[in-house]
Amino acid sequence: MALLDQQLQRWLPTGLKQFLDRLANSDEAAEQPEENCADLTPEQIEQLSEAIQSLPNHPVNPEAIYSDIKAELEQWQASPQSSNNSLAILSSPGVAIANILAHDLEPQLDGHKPPVLVLATADRARESNQIESLLEQRIQEIGADQEQCIVVIPDLSQCFLRSVDGLSSLDFLQETLLQNPCRFTIMGLDPVTWHYLGVVSHLATYCSQELSLPKLEADQLQDWLKPVIDQFQLQFSRDSALQKATNDSPEDRYFKTLAALSNGNRIVAEQLFLQSIHPVDADHLETLELGIPELPSLPSLEESDNYLLYSLLLHGEMTLSALADSLGETLPTLRYQAQALQQSEVILQREDRLSINPLYDPKLRQSLALNNFVIDSRD
């Protein structure tokens, strides 16, 4: 009974709404994720994107994370043989922590002895049986075969592939880094990937410490996006109905909604922010306004779509051939399926790599959790 109650509580807020949305207009449930942004000119979209990319990787300096990392390092250095020598830092989507670990952590530990070595994890090997050798090469390139060092793996999901050969690289990482007390390993990954690895490998056994990237509050998002708002002189929408409902100013209301919908995640918040920008009216295209941010509804997904999307959640970005390997499908079949999902903008393609559209990320996780995939809907 308690289990039934728990499942009902998980399903009711989103499952019922999704179901009713589907009943209401099943073919039109997929709103275009950036329909307001589509009203902007291409130049405006490019300028806005550049402005956001120039912002710091994380809205606030994640001091809590850095101090926890330093505490773990001190404990390890004091007694390398008996202390925990690895740390997993989780964020959903995983790219949020990957950016921080790739660029921001090293300066924080600047001057630290032993040396901090960042492993390049921007892309995976083309073939699953080459992942291990590529990792070995990269570890040697950064000099991680030294006596004592701190190895940072910004995105662990790029270091393996869900295939029979693709998991061998995890064995290699385990033997080379985690089982070696002279090396301290810091790994960034998505909670979905962490849960998966906990089942299929012994990684979680060796890495008993895990931290989560703190979720962003409304005021933190407000401070982070202020430079862009000032640069483009963005105004906040003044909806009179909402004004009466709450005592908050339009600005406060906007950022509270943004924080709630993005679940405190910077990547999702960034896309929601972009999506909510639109010209005040057709006659004043230069004057931009921030409407109420809204997460688009998921389109109707087939069972095969769920398997594909779960694989993308697991691995972050991946090529079509890696996806085919992970799913055990042929490329032509998968190409057609991926094309359909790209058209509904659930997945995006950057060069030859596919990834989940951040705007659909929160609802997709909940949907997959309700469809019996190994996802905690709170992730």
Partner 1 sequence: MSILIYLLPLAQSGSNTANQTAAKAKDILAQITAGKVTRALLIVLAAYLAIQIFDKLIIWLSERVPREWRLRVKQFLPFVRLVVILVATASLIDLFLNINRENLLAITGTAAVALGFAFKDLVSSVIAGVFGLFEAPYRIGDRVQIGDHYGEVIGYGLRGIRLQTPDDSVVTIPHGQIWTSAVVNSNMGNLEAQVVTEFYFAHEVDVELTKKILYRVAYTSKYTQLKLPVQVIMQEKSWGTLFKLKCYPIDARNEFVYKTDLISRAKQAFARHQLPYPRLLDLESRAQHTSASN
Contact residues: partner 1, CB under 8 A: 7, 11, 15, 19, 22, 162-167, 195-196, 199-200, 303, 307, 310-311, 326-328, 367, 370-374
Measured from the Cβ of residue 153, the count of other Cβ atoms closer than 10 Å reads: 27
C-beta of 136: minimal distance to partner 1 in Å?
A: 20
Question: Per this entry, what is the length of the chain?
Answer: 379
Task: Pick between residue 53 and residue 372 the one whose CB is nearest to partner 1.
Answer: 372
Total Cβ atoms within 10 A of residue 241:
6
- CB 205, min distance to partner 1, A: 15
Least distance in angstroms from the C-beta of 165 to partner 1: 8
By beta-carbon proximity to partner 1, the closer residue of 21 and 217 is 21
* Cα(48)–Cα(21) distance, integer angstroms: 32
DSSP characters over 69-114: HHHHHHHHHH-TTTS--EEEEE-SSTHHHHHIIIIIHHHHTTT-SS
Closer residue to partner 1 in complex, CB, 52/167: 167
Shortest Cβ 164–partner 1 spacing (Å): 5
One-character DSSP codes across 170-231:
HHHHIIIIIT-TTEEEEEEE-HHHHHHHHHHSSHHHH---EEEPPPPPHHHHHHHHHHHHHH
Distance CA 129, CA 90 (A): 27
Residue 326 tokens read as: 């992970």
Please state the closest distance from residue 286 (CB atom) to partner 1, in A: 45
Nearer to partner 1, 3 or 282 (CB): 3
User: DSSP string covering 6-45, please?
Assistant: HHHHHHIIIIIHHHHHHHH-TTS----TTHHHHTS-HHHH
Closer CB to partner 1, 75 or 377, in the complex: 377
Q: How near is the Cβ of 94 to partner 1 at its closest, in Å?
A: 18
Give least dist CB 344 to partner 1, A.
18
For residue 233, give every residue at least 6 positions away whose Cβ sits within 8 Å of its Cβ, in sequence order, or none.
287, 288
